[in-house]
Amino acid sequence: MASGLRTIFEAYEPHERGLLEMETGALLGRFRACVDRLDPRVFTLDEDQIDLAFLADAGVGKWPVRVVLGHLAETEVLQTHRIRRTLSEDRPIAYTWDEQAFVDSGIYGGGIAPLFGGGAIRPAIGAFVASVHTLRQWTASTLALVPGEAWSRVTLHPEFGELSVREMVAFEVWHFEHHARFVNAKVGRMLGPEPLGGACEQ
């Protein structure tokens, strides 16, 4: 597994207990509401703002907004499949991926796409967000119907060992909110403080 994902899991660990101890309905509600965590002003940014990279000392994360949202959509595809396989198959083996390779390829945009002739690719960020929203609602609708013991079914991860459905759902809640905070911080740097009544608080 990519070292970047190892770092993400280490950052998640302090938040793990609270999420895993949430009542199932509350956790599922938070899982469904992920895109509400985004500052809606992200959709008013122009193309150059969406692709603006910040220096590390800016404190808002280095990936441009388009790359962060592309990463979130990619992760959602992966985790949706993992969760649904775990609900359907007996202890499936989870495949891993190199998230940084996806970023470096340029398929999310945010700069030059070296694998595709060196031109710039600028996918619509609305497609990324809509993908996350749609996959979350699909998975959540399934999880709302399965018996409680299904949340204890496990996948076998090459690095992290057994991961239950509940653990994967909790991680996805944290992962989206973690990256949404950086997106919102970038929007704030470009457009100023968010007005009252904006993105939902945690």
| pTM confidence score | 0.89
pLDDT at 202 over 70: no
For the residues 106-115, what does the mean pLDDT come to? 76
Choose between 8 and 76: higher pLDDT: 76
Q: How far is CA 131 from the centre of its chain?
A: 11
SS3 193: coil
Give, in words, the CATH class of 3-191. mainly alpha
pLDDT at 73 over 90: yes
Tell me the per-residue pLDDT of 74-99, one tens digit each, with 9 for 90 and over. 999 999 999 999 999 999 999 889 99
Lowest mean pLDDT among 6-10, 132-136, 152-156, 183-187: 6-10
Q: Give the pLDDT confidence score for residue 11 in this predicted structure.
A: 74
Q: How many CB atoms are located within 10 Å of the residue 59 CB?
A: 10
Q: Give the pLDDT confidence score for residue 3 in this predicted structure.
A: 43
Q: Give the pLDDT confidence score for residue 171 in this predicted structure.
A: 93
The rounded distance, in Å, linking the Cα atoms of 10 and 56 is: 20
Q: How many CB atoms are located within 10 Å of the residue 136 CB?
A: 22
